[in-house]
């Protein structure tokens, strides 16, 4: 019994001793302090070289044809024929027939009136031989050259006031002008293309009855357009007629050269802008197409153009000195779509050329490259 008790006490003593020994080992163990790791961010920089920066105004607008003809009929008749199909998209050469309206009835009236004039002049000849023998030869020659189917020739000029009054009294002038009026109206039965162009609208078809005053369609020159763009009034004095303008499409895949041809003097009250009209030519341009215009308004001296993303708090940029980021104050002068023109940086200053997320003054950086720039 005593032996069992002694063995139990010895076992307890061993466990207690082992526990205390383990605690001493744990307490005496030294944990090394973690080393601080210095994080160095890589940056791209460029060296400032101030210079002359052109200020370009970017704006946009839609194209409208400079040469546009709305086709209206001044006479009535059946649409007889055209040099091509009278449908939108059809091209016509200069001088070709756009629309020819049947004029048979009108031609008959013209022949009747010319015949009446001829008869009256013939009846006038005997009296002229007696009263104005010196005028008789020219009137006789007029009768001999008279052509009912040809163009009406002007009446002979009277040699005296008496001769003039004599012919007026015989209704020669009234008969002549009645025939001349019908002949002039005959030309309105044919509408010809004043220039090479394309039909953009067509309101009638061949064989249809055309009424006087009816709109027939629209005809434009497909190569010459005007671009109407709004310009802020503060730049109005910088835009002048004759100024060259760079134009491009939305994708910037096509470029065009334009010229300012008109500047509206009226200010749009709601937008405080004026309208500027730019002439542009191109075989691939289309009516109502969309173009962007870059107008060079003026130039700023001793300035620098940088990416708008480099601005901090709207008037600061990060510079690098001895691998440490610093903040430099700048004066933004003109904002563009993706860049800004600033002043206030000294030549030779190294600034970031690409923005760095999370950048702050005093940040340690590693410069990867250095791009010298003037603008």
What CATH number is attached to the domain comprising 283?
A: 2.40.30.170
Strand-pair category, 350-352 with 41-48: antiparallel
* Residue 105 Cα distances to 96, 110, 222, angstroms: 24, 9, 36
Structural domain includes residue 37? no
Number of other residues whose CB lies within 10 A of the CB of residue 59:
19
Structural domain includes residue 263? yes
Q: Which of 219, 234, 252 is the last residue of a domain?
A: 219
Structural domain includes residue 316? yes
10: containing domain: 1-31
Structural domain includes residue 88? yes
Structural domain includes residue 38? no
Contacts of 272 (CB under 8 A, 6+ apart): 232, 233
pLDDT at 8: 66
Structural domain includes residue 257? yes
Same domain, 289 and 348: no
pLDDT at 79: 94
pLDDT at 133: 86
Q: How far apart are CA 84 and CA 117, in angstroms?
A: 38
DSSP notation for 97-127: EEEEE--HHHHHHHHHHHHHHHHHHHHHHHH
pLDDT at 161: 85
Count up the domains in the chain and report the number. 4
Give mean pLDDT in consecutive 10-residue pieces for the chain, a chain of 375 residues.
Answer: 65 66 63 58 88 85 93 93 92 94 92 92 87 87 89 88 86 91 93 94 92 94 93 83 90 91 90 92 90 84 89 89 89 83 90 87 82 53
Same domain, 214 and 89: yes
């Amino acid at each position: 019994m005593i032996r069992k008790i002694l063995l139990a006490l010895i076992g307890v003593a061993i466990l207690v001793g082992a526990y205390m020994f383990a605690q001493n080992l744990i307490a005496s163990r030294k944990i090394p302090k973690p080393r601080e790791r210095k994080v160095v961010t890589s940056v791209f920089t460029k060296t400032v070289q101030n210079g002359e920066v052109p200020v370009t105004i970017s704006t946009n607008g839609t194209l409208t044809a400079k040469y546009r003809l709305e086709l209206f009929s001044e006479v009535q008749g059946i649409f007889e024929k055209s040099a091509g199909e009278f449908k939108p998209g059809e091209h016509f050469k200069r001088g070709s027939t756009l629309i020819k309206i049947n004029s048979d009835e009108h031609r008959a009236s013209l022949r009747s009136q010319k015949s009446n004039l001829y008869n009256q002049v013939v009846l006038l000849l005997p009296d002229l031989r007696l009263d104005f023998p010196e005028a008789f030869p020219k009137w006789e020659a007029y009768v001999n050259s008279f052509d009912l189917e040809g163009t009406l020739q002007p009446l002979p000029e009277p040699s005296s006031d008496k001769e003039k009054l004599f012919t007026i009294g015989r209704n020669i002038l009234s008969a002549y002008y009645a025939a001349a009026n019908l002949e002039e109206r005959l030309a309105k039965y044919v509408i010809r293309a004043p220039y090479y162009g394309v039909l953009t609208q067509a309101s009638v078809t061949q064989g249809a009855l055309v009424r006087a005053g009816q709109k027939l369609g629209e005809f434009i020159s497909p190569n010459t357009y005007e671009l109407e763009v709004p310009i802020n009034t503060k730049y109005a004095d910088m835009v002048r007629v004759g100024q060259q303008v760079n134009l491009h499409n939305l994708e910037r895949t096509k470029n065009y050269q334009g010229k300012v041809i008109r500047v509206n003097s009226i200010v749009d009250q709601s937008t405080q802008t004026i309208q500027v009209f730019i002439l542009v030519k191109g075989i691939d341009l289309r009516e109502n197409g969309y173009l962007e215009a870059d107008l060079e308004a003026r130039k700023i001296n001793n300035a620098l153009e940088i990416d708008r993303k480099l601005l901090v708090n709207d008037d600061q940029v990060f510079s690098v000195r001895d691998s440490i980021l610093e903040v430099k104050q700048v004066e933004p002068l003109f904002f563009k779509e993706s860049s800004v023109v600033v002043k206030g940086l000294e030549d030779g200053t190294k600034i970031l050329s690409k923005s760095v997320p999370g950048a702050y003054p005093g940040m340690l950086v590693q410069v990867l490259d250095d791009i010298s720039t003037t603008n």
